[in-house]
Structure 1
Amino acid sequence: MAQGNSQARPARPRGPMGPRPVGGVVEKPRDLVGTLGRLLGYIGEHKLAVVAGILFAIASVAFNIVGPKVLGQVTTKLYEGLVAKVQGTGGVDFAWIGRTLAILLGIYVASSACNLVQGWLMTGVTQKVVYRMRREISEKIAVVPMSYFSGHSKGDVLSRITNDVDTLGQSLNQSITQLVTSVTQIVGITVMMLTISLPLTGVTLLTLPLSVVIVGVMVHFSQRYFREQQEVLGRVNGIVEEDFAGQGVIQVFDRADAAVEEFERENDRLFTSGWRSQFLSGLMMPLMTLVGNLGYVGVVVVGAGLALNGSATPGDIQSFIQYVRNFTQPIQQLANVSNTLQSMAAATERVFEFLAAPEEEGPARPELPAAREGRVEFDHVRFGYASDKPVIHDFTFTAEPGQTVAIVGPTGAGKTTLIKLVQRFYDVDAGAIRVDGVDVRDWDLAALRSEFAMVLQDTWLFNGTIRENIRYGRPDATDEEVEAAARAARCEHFIHTLAGGYDFVINEEGTNLSQGQRQLVTIARAVLADRPALILDEATSNVDTRTEELIQRAMDELMRGRTSFVIAHRLSTIKSADTILVLRDGDIVEQGTHEELLAAGGFYAELYNSQFED
């Protein structure tokens, strides 16, 4: 049998801890460039589709850019034909104009077709990136340590999975496409304008520095509010989730006004950050439009002078005016892209922060014992959720295979903490815990936790049938085994009183069952799991005395031959335990059987007798 190291080991990191943030100014993204760079790594997995999409986007813009030049030639040809007709020297060549307009129609159709293809390709890439992120988040939730959820609200984590990933998905396709097309359009239109008139191109380009300055200033001031908007949205979701889950408690304690006040306070912050970010980003469009109109006026004035002295044809002026309008449009689009990138970067950074959260550390070379007997040893264990505030001081005890160990003591004595340490939800600060001779830090985590079946005081049922909830303990169990487990847990009777019986659907919170019925279903789940060791944490605390007696008989049969840890406040339920450990302030103060501890007249006797005082 493999033996674990009995020497004390340093505690491993347990992940970030801390209270939920409440207010204050949220800083700008700590690594905007790094976030976008990491996102490009995700996109890079689909490089062929991305490159093809970019090429089709460039082709679409190229066809679109050629259009005004061709249309200008048609205008010039028509003008020259009308002038010749007036002078009596010729007429309008409608055949040439018809062929040219047909070519122009083909150019615009080709542009639309290329745009359609690139949209189809980029939408596929976007959805694949979002799919991968959601899958990685789902996988991450299963490996982050329990301490992470002690320092982060459920609503905030949920917001990262839903709101932030949705923001990324909605922004990514638009951002990439507009970025490529806008840059291509600016370069292409500049080239076309230079082929028409250098003076008019110079007038147009004078507006470019002003546009760049406006975009830079707006991005600088609005980015902090985009991130704050995403983070406050996570807190608002957390409050909503808590209020829905605890609505009964809120009403009973008349805290509805306080709950509304808390929500309104965070909702006001969400409104303020959202208003500021959207207002600042919304300023870009009118400012860019103003700059574009200034350039447009300049081109008209200078172009009129060039036309009068014969330096430019009417078709050239018409084409150039179209190009000016098309030149300012991609600059405005780039401004919009900068807004979208800010929102996307803030959301993406929050997703990556969660994906970068610490994970449970498995051993480099996992060990398994030679035989699984259910022996559990606590060797001078010391632990605290905060390093300077130990909950368990110096705990030493050995649970022999098949032994039933009851753990009792006042609230906060460390009873449930010991169970969490056995399953390595947390690592000890000093000492060691060994299961079948192997330190839990050397076990394969999945194998270690598969040794135990748990029934907790806080029941957890998911939205599904009673049969599915019981089968969660062993997914490959047959219907007959599920029903046998329900009979052993004494819950078959109430199941048959429900509409549909075992196919009765439990809602998301399990509120369509009583608290005791929910407890019975979780006990049936543990019976079905049939693990070598059992952990019962106040497993019968929510059932009536008669049902408790029935369950206790089932539990006595279930625990036979298995190592069992029973945490109970009702001391009458643990009289038959092989050993009772009495904890006080993280230390064992008494140990023995029920009769031995009563005869000793110590702390256990005091706890036991206090439950029967008048």
Structure 2
Amino acid sequence: MEKKKENIFDFKLFKRLFEYIKPYKLVFYSLILLVVLLAIFSAATPYITKYAIDNSITTKIEKDFLFYILLMFGVLILNTVFQLLFIYYAAWLGQNLVQDVRVKLFDHLLRYKMKYYDNSSVGLLITRAVTDMERIADIFGQGLFMIFKDLLAMAVVFGVMVYMNFKLSGIVLIMMPLLLYATRIFQKYMKKAFEDVRTEVSNLNSFVQERLTGMKILQLFTREDLEYKNFKAINERHKKGWVKTVWYNSIFFPLPDLCGSITIGLVAWYGGLNVVLQNTSVSQGDLVAFIMFVPMLFRPLRQIADKFNTLQMGMVAATRVFKIIDTTSQIDDLGTHVAESFKGNIKFDNVHFSYVEDEKVLKGISFDVKTGDTVAIVGATGAGKSTIINLLNRFYEIEDGVISVDGIDIKDVTLSSLRTQIAVVLQDVFLFADTILNNITLNHPNITEEQVYQAAKDIGIHDFIMTLPNGYHYNVKERGVMLSSGQRQLISFLRAYVTNPSILVLDEATSSVDSYSEQLIQNATDKITKGRTSIVIAHRLATIKKADKIIVMDAGKIVEQGTHKELLKKENGYYKNLYEVQFLQEEVA
């Protein structure tokens, strides 16, 4: 098991990445051809130089000298053109591949259960979708093809060296085992170092994202100094991770230059001695060519090591991205019934549910909601009220029991059609950094601007929207910070209403709004709930009183059911006590 962890290359991972290359096979094979051509051209200039020296300079025959010069110039031009094409299309392939992987990743993220996000860091997921993706692109743009090109060039160069002069080639090999061993050790340590770096990058992103999102809380509780110290500690670990990679680089990178210089010295000594002694085994052309060849053989090892760093970072990033893609956290959408509309008969039959294993949130919940009725659910915080809404929309899977609408198990209804027919207004309203219009329609192609205007007039908030700069085209910025909480709630209410849902859910929809906004929402609620099945989770007295039925929950169980008047008649009833303690205070106020 340990050996598997220490593998420098994960061929299974490469094989998986290559699956994404299939749509770009022509470019991929063209890059392979360019790699071969570049390797050949890399050895051409020293080889031509050898013949220019031996056949023209040494012999002082001018006849073919111009030909050799023009030939080297032609090789240089072609090499430059091929380099340009190679660099461009290697990067192009990497970016296209990453585009496909990123789309697949985001598609998975869109379909994961809410439980997955309950247990995941947003900063970490952003790192995977953005930063790690760029590292994967580098595998092809700056890593794999570059390494392959350098290795092939080294093989071609060494092959030409052996063909030209076997003895000088043997001298060149003296330092090679040491350098190859050092390269392997370097690669092993760099892989571990880059795994540490990616971990610290994720931690840093998560920390910054959470603190920026919760900046108001930090300042309200004067936590600036403490969070500054925490950030310094995390940033220090991040720096140490990178410094470790710099340390390994600083140890290794001078080594190829040192080995290359020693080898050139040995070649110059042995070859020069043979030239001086007029030994026919080494010509002047051989000596010059080999001096040119040695850097071409040793320097790529340094470049390969550098590119291998890029490759390692890409592999670590790819492993983490594929880990998210391979996560099986989607809701099973196996239903075949497409609900174009619901009558609105809702039934919970002995439903059990836990967010955390062995910690029951709902303990055998059973109740009915008839078509067109408005049912209010009340209870203390943590009683399980909002959980009922989450389960109705299948954000989570129940452990036992059945939830049905119009007599059909919601598991048999396609997920898209189920959620299309249920509109939810939450207490904590989320608005995107976009216009009011787009936040209402969420860019739904079948909802026109005129429909939005009419819906806003119907529920009485059109005039409020028109008082804003640019009206419906007013950009509310990130999370709707340009609007008050009451205004955001009104936009959320309109977003639910404009879809004309079969079932309406209001989850604490008026608990954090001002009295004016509450009145607007109350008027809209009366209109939108008329003749439509509605479930209301609220503390506001007016909503509770008008409900056709009130379900009272405590600790995951239903303790009482009935109308407002019926529940008030129960001596020492849970609802009656709740009413006298909380709701009666609101009436007095």
Q: 2:487 aligns with which of 497, 517, 530?
A: 517
Classify the secondary structure of the residue corresponding to 1:536. strand
CA contact (8 A) 2:8 2:187 kept: no
Q: TM-score, normalised by structure 2?
A: 0.94
CA contact (8 A) 1:172 1:344 kept: no
Q: How many residues align?
A: 578
- Counterpart CA distance in 2 for 1:369 and 1:347 is 41
Residue 552 of structure 2 is aligned to residue 582 of structure 1: yes
CA contact (8 A) 1:464 1:505 kept: yes
Q: Could you say which residue in structure 1 is the equivalent of 2:49? A: 71
Counting only pairs closer than 5 Å after superposition, residues 251-400 of structure 1 correspond to structure 2 as 251-309=219-277, 310=279, 311-364=281-334, 366-368=336-338, 372-400=342-370
Q: Following TM superposition, by how much is the alpha carbon of 1:489 offset from its aligned partner in structure 2, in angstroms?
A: 3.7
Classify the secondary structure of the residue corresponding to 2:39. helix
Counting only pairs closer than 5 Å after superposition, residues 97-112 of structure 1 correspond to structure 2 as 97-112=65-80
Q: 1:445 aligns with which of 403, 415, 426?
A: 415
Residue 180 of structure 2 is aligned to residue 212 of structure 1: yes
Q: Could you say which residue in structure 1 is the equivalent of 2:509? A: 539
1:314-363 CA-partner distances (Å, limit 9, x unpaired): 11100011111111122222212221111111111111111112142435
Classify the secondary structure of the residue corresponding to 2:412. coil
Q: 1:245 aligns with which of 200, 213, 230?
A: 213
Q: Following TM superposition, by how much is the alpha carbon of 1:479 offset from its aligned partner in structure 2, in angstroms?
A: 2.1
Q: Following TM superposition, by how much is the alpha carbon of 1:64 offset from its aligned partner in structure 2, in angstroms?
A: 2.5
Counting only pairs closer than 5 Å after superposition, residues 124-163 of structure 1 correspond to structure 2 as 124-163=92-131
Q: Following TM superposition, by how much is the alpha carbon of 1:33 offset from its aligned partner in structure 2, in angstroms?
A: 3.2
In structure 2, do the counterparts of structure 1 residues 254 and 562 end up closer, same or farther at CA, with 3 Å as the change threshold? same
- Counterpart CA distance in 1 for 2:6 and 2:489 is 47
In structure 2, do the counterparts of structure 1 residues 340 and 31 end up closer, same or farther at CA, with 3 Å as the change threshold? closer
Structure 1's consecutive aligned runs of 4 or more residues displaced over 6 angstroms after TM superposition are 27-31
Residue 456 of structure 2 is aligned to residue 486 of structure 1: yes
In structure 2, do the counterparts of structure 1 residues 473 and 550 end up closer, same or farther at CA, with 3 Å as the change threshold? farther
Greater alpha carbon shift after TM alignment, 425-434 vs 272-281: 272-281
Q: Following TM superposition, by how much is the alpha carbon of 1:79 offset from its aligned partner in structure 2, in angstroms?
A: 4.1
1:225-276 CA-partner distances (Å, limit 9, x unpaired): 2122112212211221222222111111111122222222222221111211
- Counterpart CA distance in 1 for 2:327 and 2:406 is 31
CA contact (8 A) 1:60 1:110 kept: no
Q: Could you say which residue in structure 2 is the equivalent of 1:425? A: 395
Q: What residue identity is the alignment partner of 2:162?
A: L
- Counterpart CA distance in 1 for 2:8 and 2:166 is 44
Q: What residue identity is the alignment partner of 1:606?
A: N
Residue 28 of structure 2 is aligned to residue 50 of structure 1: yes
Residue 7 of structure 2 is aligned to residue 36 of structure 1: no
CA contact (8 A) 1:485 1:525 kept: no
Q: Could you say which residue in structure 2 is the equivalent of 1:608? A: 579
Classify the secondary structure of the residue corresponding to 2:411. coil
- Counterpart CA distance in 2 for 1:396 and 1:535 is 18
- Counterpart CA distance in 2 for 1:96 and 1:193 is 23
Q: Following TM superposition, by how much is the alpha carbon of 1:364 offset from its aligned partner in structure 2, in angstroms?
A: 3.9
- Counterpart CA distance in 1 for 2:543 and 2:7 is 55
- Counterpart CA distance in 2 for 1:368 and 1:270 is 50
In structure 2, do the counterparts of structure 1 residues 606 and 28 end up closer, same or farther at CA, with 3 Å as the change threshold? farther
Q: Following TM superposition, by how much is the alpha carbon of 1:101 offset from its aligned partner in structure 2, in angstroms?
A: 0.6
- Counterpart CA distance in 1 for 2:318 and 2:83 is 27
Classify the secondary structure of the residue corresponding to 2:401. strand
CA contact (8 A) 2:50 2:286 kept: yes
CA contact (8 A) 1:490 1:520 kept: no
Q: TM-score, normalised by structure 1?
A: 0.90
CA contact (8 A) 1:474 1:529 kept: no
- Counterpart CA distance in 1 for 2:285 and 2:83 is 27
Q: 2:472 aligns with which of 482, 488, 502?
A: 502
Q: Could you say which residue in structure 2 is the equivalent of 1:222? A: 190
- Counterpart CA distance in 1 for 2:388 and 2:105 is 29
Q: Following TM superposition, by how much is the alpha carbon of 1:454 offset from its aligned partner in structure 2, in angstroms?
A: 0.7
Structure 2 residues not aligned, in runs of 5+? none
- Counterpart CA distance in 1 for 2:513 and 2:7 is 51
CA contact (8 A) 1:463 1:507 kept: yes
CA contact (8 A) 2:38 2:153 kept: no
1:35-83 CA-partner distances (Å, limit 9, x unpaired): 22211222244222111111112112212211101112222345424xx
- Counterpart CA distance in 2 for 1:246 and 1:454 is 25
1:412-457 CA-partner distances (Å, limit 9, x unpaired): 0000111111111111111111122121222211111111001001
Q: Following TM superposition, by how much is the alpha carbon of 1:122 offset from its aligned partner in structure 2, in angstroms?
A: 2.1
Counting only pairs closer than 5 Å after superposition, residues 557-572 of structure 1 correspond to structure 2 as 557-572=527-542
- Counterpart CA distance in 2 for 1:501 and 1:44 is 48
Greater alpha carbon shift after TM alignment, 56-65 vs 320-329: 56-65
Greater alpha carbon shift after TM alignment, 406-415 vs 223-232: 223-232
- Counterpart CA distance in 2 for 1:325 and 1:525 is 67
CA contact (8 A) 1:407 1:415 kept: yes
Q: What residue identity is the alignment partner of 2:40?
A: A
Q: Could you say which residue in structure 2 is the equivalent of 1:403? A: 373
CA contact (8 A) 1:463 1:510 kept: yes
Q: 1:434 aligns with which of 380, 398, 404?
A: 404
In structure 2, do the counterparts of structure 1 residues 496 and 380 end up closer, same or farther at CA, with 3 Å as the change threshold? same
Q: Following TM superposition, by how much is the alpha carbon of 1:365 offset from its aligned partner in structure 2, in angstroms?
A: 5.2
Question: Percentage identity across aligned positions?
Answer: 31
CA contact (8 A) 1:377 1:397 kept: yes
Q: Following TM superposition, by how much is the alpha carbon of 1:539 offset from its aligned partner in structure 2, in angstroms?
A: 0.8
In structure 2, do the counterparts of structure 1 residues 120 and 550 end up closer, same or farther at CA, with 3 Å as the change threshold? closer
Q: 1:527 aligns with which of 488, 494, 497?
A: 497
Q: Could you say which residue in structure 2 is the equivalent of 1:59? A: 37
Q: 2:165 aligns with which of 197, 204, 219?
A: 197
- Counterpart CA distance in 2 for 1:63 and 1:547 is 75
Q: What residue identity is the alignment partner of 2:66?
A: G
Q: What residue identity is the alignment partner of 2:258?
A: L
- Counterpart CA distance in 2 for 1:307 and 1:366 is 86
CA contact (8 A) 2:138 2:311 kept: no
1:356-400 CA-partner distances (Å, limit 9, x unpaired): 121424354523469731111111011111121000011011111
CA contact (8 A) 2:551 2:558 kept: yes
Q: Could you say which residue in structure 2 is the equivalent of 1:5? A: none
CA contact (8 A) 2:335 2:415 kept: no
Q: Could you say which residue in structure 2 is the equivalent of 1:594? A: 564
CA contact (8 A) 2:350 2:365 kept: yes
Bigger relative contact order (CA 8 A; separation at least 6): 1
Q: Following TM superposition, by how much is the alpha carbon of 1:556 offset from its aligned partner in structure 2, in angstroms?
A: 1.4
In structure 2, do the counterparts of structure 1 residues 30 and 578 end up closer, same or farther at CA, with 3 Å as the change threshold? farther
CA contact (8 A) 1:463 1:506 kept: yes
Q: Following TM superposition, by how much is the alpha carbon of 1:473 offset from its aligned partner in structure 2, in angstroms?
A: 8.0
Q: What residue identity is the alignment partner of 1:607?
A: L
Structure 1 residues not aligned, in runs of 5+? 1-26, 82-91
- Counterpart CA distance in 2 for 1:54 and 1:298 is 35
Classify the secondary structure of the residue corresponding to 1:378. strand
